[in-house]
Amino acid sequence: KNEVEQSPQNLTAQEGEFITINCSYSVGISALHWLQQHPGGGIVSLFMLSSGKKKHGRLIATINIQEKHSSLHITASHPRDSAVYICAAFYSGGGADGLTFGKGTHLIIQP
Amino acid sequence: DTEVTQTPKHLVMGMTNKKSLKCEQHMGHRAMYWYKQKAKKPPELMFVYSYEKLSINESVPSRFSPECPNSSLLNLHLHALQPEDSALYLCASSRGGRGFNSPLHFGNGTRLTVT
């Protein structure tokens, strides 16, 4: 069964802290997406990666295919980073859109 | 700003009403999606159009009816909804067809309340 597990479910941190959100998946995938959803509802695609590491500004995403694990890091966190972060794994043949979503990590950065 | 535009942003409708949600993208994407998202849950796929052909998710009730008039537009027609259908409805698009793994571009969603 295709599964995606995220941890932690909830995370509260102080401004400036280094944040790590983890994602594990159960079987081989072809790519993994990290998404950000703000309270208003809109979802932004942060990264799509299939190996190694990607960086965009203060955000870094890594994936270890052998360990079936991905992490999203936020450096120098800021209150505007407060959002829900969702990991979604792309499984070939995994349903009409191929995506299995994690339950999300609710991040709050306090000033 | 999102490149996928959804209207309206908010919608309140009674159980006997007929309404439509609209979605538009001009990125040349060939796959468009409707997702339903309840509070504190991940998005659930409802429908996918790939090269203007529909892939049906059989768990979606017939009171939801999608339409793809052309490659840039996607509608979701609503009729005789139930209060439990109240949710955030998200449209998304991606390059290539169904199952082609490319980044998803989401709209800001329509917050639907059924009374």
- pLDDT tens digits for range B37-71: 999 899 998 998 988 888 767 689 999 999 999 98
A54 touching B (Cβ < 8 Å): no
Give A24-67 pLDDT, tens digit per residue. Answer: 998 778 889 999 999 877 899 999 998 999 999 999 999 998 89
Looking up tokens 């959002």, which residue turns up?
Answer: A83
Chain A neighbors of B107, CB-CB under 8 A: 42
What is residue A1's predicted lDDT score, i.e. its pLDDT?
59
3-state SS, residue B72? coil
Left, alpha or beta for B80 (phi > 0: left; psi -120 to 50: alpha)?
left
Contact B48 A41 (CB under 8 A): no
Q: Which secondary structure element, helix H or strand E, spans residue A20, and what is its range? A: strand A19-25
What is residue A96's predicted lDDT score, i.e. its pLDDT?
61
What is residue B43's predicted lDDT score, i.e. its pLDDT?
92
Mean pLDDT of chain A: 91
Cis check: omega of the bond before B8, within 30 degrees of 0: yes
Contact A96 B99 (CB under 8 A): yes
Residue B26 has pLDDT above 90, yes or no: yes
Of A101, A69, A98, which Cα lies nearest the Cα of A85? A101
Residue A78 has pLDDT above 80, yes or no: yes
B11 touching A (Cβ < 8 Å): no
